Amino acid sequence: MNERQRARRPGGRSARVGEQVHQAVTELIGERGYGNFTVGEVAARAGVADSSIYRRWGNLESLLTDVALTRLNMQSPMPDTGSLAGDLRTYAAQVAREITGPDGLLLVRLAVALSSIGQQGLQARDDLRDERARQLQSMLDRARDRGEPALDAFDVLDHILAPMYIRVLFGMVPLTPDYIDGLVDRLL
């Protein structure tokens, strides 16, 4: 390991660049919608070279996937309350707050938009779905290890997340605690 690699810190320049690029993407989606900006425009907004974005993310779709996953992981982490019902209720409430928050609709639209932009978009969409399913499965595995019913991650996506996303897309908000708890109850 050389001196430069040793000097790199999680809170250093690399982290700052990542935050600036993520913020630029979020702003551009809010202003123009998905598909109406380029890597060059993200770079200019973030104050970095577009070659930095290509080197780190490879393409716009991978960058968008990273932005979406980072936001989901920061604002809707997998809970561990000690019971599957508690974990699902906590998780569903976190997701509801995220997708009904100031940038929530943008995140939902980003996930939908990735499906309509060719093979790279489909791969980015699949990566986003698979990573979230993997994280959900870790919560479900903990429940199974405690002797609780074994559910599949896609059951959670189908019965809890999908109805909430559809309601947000069609303006059927707020997502009340009773509604969210009802989704969890029907799944369990």
Greater confidence (72 vs 171) lies with: 171
Contacts 24+ apart (CB under 8 A), 177-180: 177/93, 180/89, 180/92, 180/93, 180/96
Q: How far apart are CA 188 and CA 182, in angstroms?
A: 10
Q: Cα 110 from chain centroid?
A: 10
Q: Contact, 184 vs 139, CB < 8 A? A: no
Average pLDDT of span 22-36: 83
pLDDT for the residue 91: 93
Q: How far apart are CA 127 and CA 15, in angstroms?
A: 22
Query: Which of 186, 187, 175, 28 lies closest to 98, judged by CA?
Result: 175
Q: Which two tokens stand for residue 35?
A: 């598909």
pLDDT for the residue 125: 73
Asked whether the CA dihedral 92, 160, 157, 140 is positive or negative, the reply is positive
pLDDT for the residue 101: 82
Give first-to-last CA distance, the chain, whole Å.
Answer: 50
Q: Contact, 145 vs 89, CB < 8 A? A: no
Alpha helical stretches, state H, 104-169? 104-113, 118-145, 153-156, 162-169
Tokens 């309350």 belong to which residue?
A: 81
Residue 8: pLDDT band with limits 50, 70, 90: very low
Q: Which two tokens stand for residue 17?
A: 């660049």
Cis preceding-peptide flag for 77 (omega within 30 of 0): no
Average pLDDT of span 46-57: 94
What 3-state DSSP class applies to 48?
A: coil
The vertex-44 CA angle with 68 and 126, nearest 5°, equals: 25
pLDDT for the residue 159: 96
* pLDDT tens per residue, range 76-125: 678 999 999 999 999 999 989 888 887 777 777 777 766 666 676 677 77
pLDDT for the residue 5: 43
Q: How far apart are CA 182 and CA 34, in angstroms?
A: 33
